[in-house]
Amino acid sequence: MSSYNFHCCISGVAIPELLEACHIINWSDDATQRTNPKNGICLNSFFS
Protein backbone atom coordinates (compact mmCIF):
# COMPACT_ATOMS: atom_id res chain seq x y z
CA MET A 1 0.00 0.00 0.00
CA SER A 2 2.98 2.27 0.41
CA SER A 3 3.33 2.29 -3.39
CA TYR A 4 0.07 4.23 -3.44
CA ASN A 5 0.99 6.49 -0.50
CA PHE A 6 -1.73 4.75 1.51
CA HIS A 7 -4.46 6.22 -0.73
CA CYS A 8 -7.10 4.37 -2.73
CA CYS A 9 -5.97 4.53 -6.35
CA ILE A 10 -9.55 5.11 -7.57
CA SER A 11 -11.13 7.47 -5.05
CA GLY A 12 -8.12 8.93 -3.27
CA VAL A 13 -9.51 7.94 0.14
CA ALA A 14 -6.73 7.94 2.74
CA ILE A 15 -8.54 6.50 5.78
CA PRO A 16 -6.44 3.46 6.82
CA GLU A 17 -9.45 1.58 8.22
CA LEU A 18 -11.07 1.62 4.78
CA LEU A 19 -8.04 0.57 2.70
CA GLU A 20 -7.31 -2.93 1.44
CA ALA A 21 -4.36 -4.32 -0.46
CA CYS A 22 -5.72 -6.32 -3.40
CA HIS A 23 -4.10 -8.51 -6.03
CA ILE A 24 -4.44 -7.52 -9.68
CA ILE A 25 -3.86 -11.10 -10.89
CA ASN A 26 -5.65 -13.45 -8.49
CA TRP A 27 -3.47 -15.33 -6.00
CA SER A 28 -4.81 -18.67 -7.25
CA ASP A 29 -4.37 -17.88 -10.96
CA ASP A 30 -0.60 -17.39 -11.12
CA ALA A 31 1.79 -18.56 -8.40
CA THR A 32 4.64 -16.48 -9.85
CA GLN A 33 2.72 -13.26 -9.18
CA ARG A 34 1.85 -13.99 -5.55
CA THR A 35 4.75 -12.07 -4.05
CA ASN A 36 5.25 -9.56 -6.85
CA PRO A 37 4.78 -6.09 -5.32
CA LYS A 38 3.68 -4.78 -8.73
CA ASN A 39 0.74 -7.20 -8.65
CA GLY A 40 -1.00 -5.16 -5.99
CA ILE A 41 -3.37 -2.26 -5.87
CA CYS A 42 -4.63 -0.17 -2.98
CA LEU A 43 -8.42 0.13 -2.90
CA ASN A 44 -10.91 1.33 -0.35
CA SER A 45 -13.27 -1.36 0.89
CA PHE A 46 -16.13 -0.06 -1.26
CA PHE A 47 -14.27 -1.11 -4.44
CA SER A 48 -12.60 -4.35 -3.36
Q: How much is the pTM?
A: 0.74
Region class of 12: left (phi > 0), else alpha (psi between -120 and 50), else beta: left
Q: For 6, list phi and psi in degrees, rounded to 5.
A: 55, 40
Tell me how many domains the chain contains.
Answer: 1
Question: pLDDT class for 2, splitting at 50, 70, 90?
Answer: confident
Amino acid 48: pLDDT: 64
Q: Which residues contact 14 (CB under 8 A, 6 or more apart)?
A: 5, 6, 7, 8
Local structure of residue 42 (DSSP, 8 states): E
Quote the CA–CA distance of 10 and 47 in Å, as a whole number. Answer: 8
Q: In which domain, by residue range, is 8 found? A: 2-44
